Chains A and B, each alone.
Chain A
């Protein structure tokens, strides 16, 4: 036997996956997460109906956004179809005082944090690079340079430590940070560096990966030789893999991890196995790299259908509620449609507004030059 050893006995070994809701809606007990869910009130029938509604709403907004892109109203759209449970669950698992650090495909997380879908569309339409105040909504801007947001999450968590809002024993005021990134971004060096900082300083941050199987066209097997959930363990960061299409498993794992982090126990890592049902973006063609059979296989594991089946089996949802959700979702899509179609382009001079927080002579001079330049054309229009 070689002197070289791995903490992981067999790199090909499967990582167990925690699942509370099977694809057919059957509920399995899970002592640890059941206790978290019961104690937090996150899994009452009313809350579960709410998650169902959230998922239906955000899927409708997502599909409408794809339509808007096809109509030429958005430059691009990155669909999160199929990841609704992973996102709605994580969003609601966070507490009000927590800070969330998303990628660009976290529409369900944004919804759960109260960010209206039209604000997300501003970015994809090209109205602004980000449509909300991160501190007011305690949600970082969408991140497009993937992985770059991970150290921001750790730094924010280091700030929480210095502010004395970690480990006081009061989970209603102690705060933690949820750092979101995908299976592809998990290969970025900044994610590895973030693990290092978080572990060394025991920062109150939970790393949360939605492993949706594909980084555009490259499967997760190219990103990692070992299951992603095993990666953080080398840093001494405990981790768990959950079924990302199971909103209960996501809620249990993320709330549990965030509460552990806010209690001062250091970082944790959650891998949620899910599936990107649509192409990477509206510019992508998934049929070039993945088999239709795989898409069908995952369609049967649909997170929304699963929760509905569970609620039906429990007798906690009726046809009327389902219909009302569908109607509300339709209304939301229509509102988005009209909002975006009616959106006026910003005056281009606004691009000079915010490169710097303090006055800057070069920017001021170039803004003046720009205004003088375009004023010639206004004069011409007046003469004409």
Chain B
């Protein structure tokens, strides 16, 4: 098992989580494109091929449906496959397998078969990439019953969510914040966190409004809270952490205290996960709300070319503008 607490970038925290999971359970194996000797295009599996060999760190053919589909068969046989999809925009060839097979096999077999599969997807934009490398597809998966979705935003969560997703008997999609892969943070692999991976975390207590974000948007959320504080607005910031299930009780408790909720995510606002959260919170906290639940996110567009993405992605000004609008009511 792993050593001691250390300061690791998110990518390396995931590597450590994978290594410790593979050491703890020899049924855990990794599959994906270029994850072997290369260590993955983001180097998340760096060193694992040398350590565990090609039977447990499998460089697959370039075929996402085949990767996820063979993971299903391995899981039926008793393995715990961890699949890497190279980029968010490349998950769609596997969409059929994920939604009709991975999500439904347990239900289809009346509970006889569990599919403990983890599908790791580097997600989100802001990296100056070409098309299909910057997407936020959480709303395409969150409504599919049978799937769970985790979105770590920091190194400690990245390590433990990796471990706990692999231990989970249900399939879990891990949306890894690719533009934060190299942001460092403390990781304590020796002490299991008190919070389950399915719970949201209040990362900054506040009294005037709640700001909800997840994954790659968390630094922006905290930065926004700091800037708002300079304007005399005390924001409570919540890291959703789990996008399926969403921890509605923690969000609702916060909104009952603050009376206002702003949600920010990189995915388009239209049909985004923020819409479902807004609807539920409006219903559950109706008499506590001082303003409508507002959302700041991407536009109803294909993700734009890199030189325009700064205008598409939520930034400090857009979030603060959203905060101001919360107080116009």
Binding site for B on A (CB under 8 A): 99, 101, 128-136, 140-141, 145, 148, 150-163, 177, 189-190, 193-194, 196-197, 200, 353-358, 360-363
Contacts and interface: CB of A to CB of B under 8 A. Distances in A.
Interface of B: 29, 55, 60-61, 63, 65-66, 68-79, 81, 93, 96-97, 100-101, 104-114, 145-146, 148, 168-170, 198, 245-249
A363 B170 contact: no
8 contacts: A134-B112, A135-B113, A141-B108, A151-B68, A155-B74, A354-B111, A355-B145, A358-B168
Contacts of B66: 151, 154, 190, 193-194, 196-197
Interface residue SS majority, chain A: helix
Nearest to A201: B58
A177 B169 CA distance: 24
A142 to B, nearest CB: 9
Contact of B55 (A128, A141, A160, A162): A162
Contacts of B198: 361
Sorted from nearest, which 4 A-B pairs have the closest CB atoms? A155-B73, A151-B69, A159-B77, A193-B66
B109 A152 contact: no
B145 A154 contact: no
Contact of B65 (A130, A158, A189): A189
Given A145-B96, A155-B77, A158-B74, A193 B69 contact: yes
Nearest to B61: A196
Interface residue SS majority, chain B: mixed
Contacts of A133: 109, 112-113
A158 B70 contact: yes
A98 to B, nearest CB: 13
A154 B67 CA distance: 10
Given A145-B100, A151-B72, A190-B96, A163 B145 contact: no
B110 A130 contact: yes
B73 A354 contact: no
Given A197-B66, A354-B107, A357-B169, A159 B73 contact: yes
Contacts of B246: 362
Contacts of B114: 357
B65 A190 contact: yes
Given A358-B170, A362-B245, A129 B72 contact: no
